[in-house]
Amino acid sequence: MQKVQAHSLFTDFDIQLFKAGKHFKLYEKLGSHIIKVDDTKGVYFAVWAPSAKSVSVIGDFNYWNDNEHQLHVRWDGSGIWEGFIPNISQGEKYKYKIHSHHNGIVTEKADPYAKRSEHPPNTASEVWDLNYSWKDKDWMGYRKDKNALDKPYSVYEVHLGSWKFDTKDNRPLSYVELADNLVSYVKEMGFTHVELMPIMEYPYDPSWGYQLTGYFAPTSRFGYPEDFMLLVDKLHQHDIGVILDWVPSHFPEDAHGLGFFDGSHLYEHPDRRRGYHPDWKSLIFNYGRNEVRSFLISNALFWLDKYHIDGLRVDAVASMLYLDYSREDGEWEPNKYGERENLEAISFLQELNETIYKDFPDVQTIAEESTAYTGVSKPISHGGLGFGMKWMMGWMHDTLDYFKKESVYRKYHHNDITFSMTYAFTENFMLPLSHDEVVYGKHSIRGRMQGDEWQQVANLKLLYGYMFTHPGTKLLFMGGEFGQTAEWNFQQSLDWHLLQYDYHKGVQQCVKDLNALYTTYPALYEKQFSQEGFEWIEHNDSEACVLSYIRKGHDTKNDLIVICNMTPVLRENYKIGVHQKGKLKEVFNSDLKKYCGSGVSNTKPIKIDDLGWHFKDYSAMVSLPPLSTIVFSIKN
C-alpha cells in the first residue's frame, strides 16, 4: 500500500460551516483538485463518508486496486476522508471504494463533486479542473436588467440530445456545434432565454436527464465541461440568458450514485416513507441533514458561479413540499403539527432561494410547482418560498383542454379559457407549454388542435397569440415553434424537414413575430405580474367565443388591446369598448397570409368613437378574422 500524503484544503472554519449546513462552496473543497504539495504536482481528494471504515481512491493509475491509495479520515468528526496523491493529473479516471462499518458493506462510488464523468454507460469520475476564458463580460454586467421581472422573458425549452442531429453521422450535435447552430436559431427566433433540460450527468437516457448521478458534471455525451462553457458564453454574447433544469427532489439508486453511499443512508432520508419516491422509483434527499443541504445549495451556486448560469428551474417542487405526495393513507407520516407539509423541505427551499438571491441577485429561480401551495414566488419574509417565478400549470392544462374542443362546443366551456385571470396575479407566473405536454400519447401541441389542417394551424397560432398576450412570462418547448406534428421523441432529432411546407413556416414566422411583439411593447411585460397590467374589455361573450382585454405598462400611451376569436367564424363590425380616444392600429394578426392565414385584417387605422361600450367611455368596430388573435395599439 502506498501512503497517501496527508493534506487538507479545509480550515477549521470550513468544517464548522459544513457541520452546520452553511458551507455553500463545497465544490472548492470536496472532490478532486489538482494542486502542488512541496513542488510536487498531484491531486487532492476529499469525500464525505462518515460511516466508512476505510476509503480508497481507485483508478487507472493503480489498476483499480483499493490497497494502493487509502485516504485519511479527519479527526474532527466531520466524516471527511482526504489525502494527496502525487503524479496524477487531468483526465485520470477514478472512484471511491468504501468499506463501511455497517455489516461489512463495500461500495464503489463516483465522486459526488466530480466536475467531469465518463461517457455513459461508463460510470467513473474524471479528475478535472475547469479552465476557460469567458468573453461574456458585457452580458454579466447588464444581465440584471435582462433578467428583471419587469422585462420580457420568453424561454425556448431544449433537450440537447434531440434538438438537431448531425445528418452525416446521425448523432446529436455537440456543445461546440450547438454553440453555432442553437445560438443562431434562438437569436433569429427572438427568444430571450433558453432553458436546458438537465445537462448534469445522468446514466439513463429515457429519464431525459431528470435522474442525476453527477451533480457537478455537465454530461460528457456532448463534449467537455469547457465546451459547455463555450455554449453558455456564445448564448450570452448574443444576449440570450441560460436557465438550467435542476433536480434537488430525487436521485436514482444506481450503484455508482449517491444512494447508500457509505453503506448508510447518507444523502437519502432513512425512513422509506420520506426517502423513496414510488412514482419514479428513486431516492429522496434528507433535507433535514445539514451536510446534505450544504451539498445541494453548493451545487446550485456552482452552476451560477462557474458556468455563469442565469437561472435555475427547480424540478418537481410539489413532490418536495408534501409528505403525502403520490402516497396512499398509511404510506406517509404527518409532520410534528399533524399536517402534510414537509417542513424540512420547505425550510431548505427557503434557504436555497435566500442564498441564491443574496449571492447572485441578477438571476432567477423558477419553480415547477403544480399545486395550490400559496406563496411559492412570494418573499421569504412574507412566509413565501422565495422563488422568482412559478410555472402556471393550471393555465396550461385549462388552455390545452379548451383548444382540444371543437369550436362549436367552446361556448359551453368559455369559463375554462377565462378562469386563469381569477388567480393570475397570486404568483409571478410563467406560462409553460413544456416537454411534458408532448409525450406519452398526449400528442404534439399542434396535434391537440381541432379541425382540418388549416383550422389546426389557425388554432395553434391563436393559442400562441393568446399565450404571448396573457400576463406572465412564456416558455415554449422546442418543435412547438414550427408546429411539429409528431410527439417528441428523445431518441431522434426534431422534424426540421417540415419547414419545407408553408404551414410550418407560417407557424414559425408567427412565433418569431410574437417574440418581437412581446419584446417591443412594454405593455406586455412591464406589469406582467401585476393586476394593474391587465383589464378585461369583455370576458362574457361566450356565444361568440370572443375574449377582449387591455394590456398595460407604465405609460398609458403604450396600452394594447387584444381580441381572441375562438371560432372559425369571420366577425366583421365587431364592437368593442375602448378606454382611450384616438385610433386603433393593428400591430399583430395571427391570420395574416404570411402565416398561412386567410388574410383578413384591419389594414387601416380604425376610428375610436365617443359612444361608450363594455363599460368603457369609447368604442370601435373591428374585423375579427377566423380563429385569430389580433392586437391593436392606440394612436392619437
Is the separation of the CB atoms in 618 and 555 below 8 Å? no
SS3 track for 340-353 = CECHHHHHHHHHHH
Cα 192 to Cα 619: distance, rounded to the nearest angstrom: 35
The residues pairing with 108 across neighbouring beta strands, listed in sequence order, are 97
Q: CB neighbours of 14 closer than 8 A, spacing ≥ 6?
A: 23, 29
DSSP tally for the chain: helices H, then strands E: 12, 33
Candidates 118, 126, 227, 368; catalytic one:
368
Q: What is the 3-state secondary structure (H, E, C) of 32-43?
A: EEEEEECCEEEE
Which candidate, 43, 10, 6, places its Cα nearest to that of 26?
A: 10
207's CB contacts (< 8 A; 6+ apart) are 252
Known catalytic residue at 368 = yes
Residue 334 burial (CB < 10 Å; 0-12/13-18/19+)?
A: exposed
| 135-139, long-range: CB < 8 A, 24+ apart | 135/233, 135/237, 136/232, 136/233, 136/236, 136/237, 136/308, 138/237, 139/236, 139/237, 139/239
Catalytic (active site) residue 315: yes
- Residue 545 CA to residue 406 CA, distance in Å, equals 12
User: How far is the C-alpha of 577 from the C-alpha of 548, rounded, in Å?
Assistant: 9
Which is it for strands 618-624 and 571-578: parallel, antiparallel or unpaired? antiparallel
Pairing of strands 193-196, 241-246: parallel
Grid coordinates representing 231 are 455554449
Contact 237, 276 (CB under 8 A): no
C-alpha cell at 65: 486496486
Q: What is the DSSP letter of 314?
A: E
Q: Which of helix, strand or coil describes residue 502?
A: helix
Strand partners, 180: none
> What is the distance between the alpha carbons of residues 322 and 343, in angstroms, rounded to a whole number?
9
Rounded Cα distance between 218 and 426, Å, is 35
From the candidates 118, 315, 481, 538, which is the catalytic residue?
Answer: 315
Long-range CB contacts (< 8 A, 24+ apart) of 613-618?
613/575, 613/576, 613/577, 613/578, 614/537, 614/538, 614/548, 614/576, 614/577, 615/577, 616/537, 616/577, 616/578, 616/579, 617/578, 617/579, 618/577, 618/578, 618/579, 618/580, 618/581
Catalytically active residues, by annotation: 315, 368
